[in-house]
């Protein structure tokens, strides 16, 4: 039987994904800025190269800002998914509780029938396990 992730697991996973995206974008923008600085240093003798370096630095700054915005959006989406997961978990818990109450009441009304069904299911499960 597959394990269902808990709401805390989903929140932790979503938060980790948002943080990883933020780190990746920060690393990319840092690399872009470093590349721009290196290119500017190598071409520093030329005035147009200096302008190019300034433009590259501005682009790196823009990339860093875009990365921060992306990370913020990812965090907001992770929180939204967490809230949706919490709501679904509550709905499932309520549904399971209602079904449990129904089954409990049926067993109280018909104990012999419930015992027979349980024995039959146990027998079938035993057959399935024995075949493996």
* Structure confidence at residue 125 (pLDDT): 93
pTM: 0.44
Whose CA is closest to 36, among 49, 23, 45, 25? 49
Say if CB 59 and CB 31 are below 8 A apart: no
* Structure confidence at residue 94 (pLDDT): 93
Which residue pairs from 16-23 have beta carbons closer than 8 angstroms and sit at least 24 positions apart in sequence? 17/74, 17/78, 18/71, 18/74, 18/75, 18/77, 18/78, 19/71, 21/70, 21/71, 21/74, 22/67, 22/68, 22/70, 22/71, 22/74
Mean pLDDT per 10-residue section of the chain, whose length is 132 residues: 64 81 82 78 67 80 85 88 90 92 89 90 92 76
Identify the DSSP state of 110. Answer: -
* Structure confidence at residue 120 (pLDDT): 92
* Structure confidence at residue 44 (pLDDT): 61
């Amino acid at each position: 039987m597959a394990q269902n992730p808990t709401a805390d697991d989903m929140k932790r996973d979503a938060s980790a994904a948002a943080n990883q995206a933020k780190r990746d974008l920060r690393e990319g923008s840092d690399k872009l800025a470093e590349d721009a600085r290196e290119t500017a240093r190598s071409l520093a003798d030329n005035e147009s190269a200096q302008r190019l370096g300034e433009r590259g630095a501005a682009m790196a700054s823009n990339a860093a800002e875009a990365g921060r915005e992306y990370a913020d959006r990812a965090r907001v989406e992770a929180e939204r998914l967490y809230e949706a997961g919490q709501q679904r978990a509550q709905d499932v818990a309520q549904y399971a509780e209602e079904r449990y109450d129904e089954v409990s009441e049926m067993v109280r009304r018909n104990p012999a029938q419930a015992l027979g069904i349980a024995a039959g299911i146990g027998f079938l499960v035993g057959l399935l396990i024995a075949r493996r």
